[in-house]
Amino acid sequence: MNTLIFGFEGTITEKVAQLLSSVADIQVIKSDETDIETFIEQTDFSRYERVIGMGTYSGKDKDRVRIETECSSQFRNKKENLIRLSIPYFIDENDIFKLAKGIGNSWCNLVSFRLIKTQKVANYTFLHVPRTMSVTKVANAVRTVLSC
């Protein structure tokens, strides 16, 4: 299957993505609204059967990679006309991955909301990677999912 994986520049997700370059196309985007918009507008998502987005997570429960199941129109603290959308994940829970509803209101949420709202991606999963987790462990877990 043809897969696109994207992560954010200068984070653990950029390192994970680099380790997966042999099994997927990789894009590294900046934590910037203009860069996210350019990524969405200029990427031909129809070329990919699966898209995995990754962001860094630094919350309390850092034992597993979080499969985010919901995003919203809230960016930063702008809550007017709040819209919530489900993220149609394709990775199952296991000892490495767990389902979560805590994508936040920053860059991870923004890119997920815009991708889903514009219906540019049919098969999308967003992963929040704990910043303290082993890069190799995460890359190997994603590689295993992609090989199934």
Give CA–CA dist 19/22, Å, rounded: 7
Three-class DSSP category at 117: helix
**Which tens digit of pLDDT belongs to each residue from 88-132?**
899 999 999 999 998 888 899 999 999 999 887 889 999 999 999
Sequence-distant (6+) residues with CB within 8 A of 84 are 70, 71, 72, 73
**Which tens digit of pLDDT belongs to each residue from 10-51?**
999 999 999 999 999 999 999 999 999 999 999 999 999 999
Q: End-to-end alpha-carbon separation of the chain, Å?
A: 10
Q: Would you say residue 148 has pLDDT above 90? A: no
Give CA–CA dist 43/41, Å, rounded: 6
| Mean pLDDT across 1-10 | 94
**Can you read off the two tokens belonging to residue 1?**
């299957």
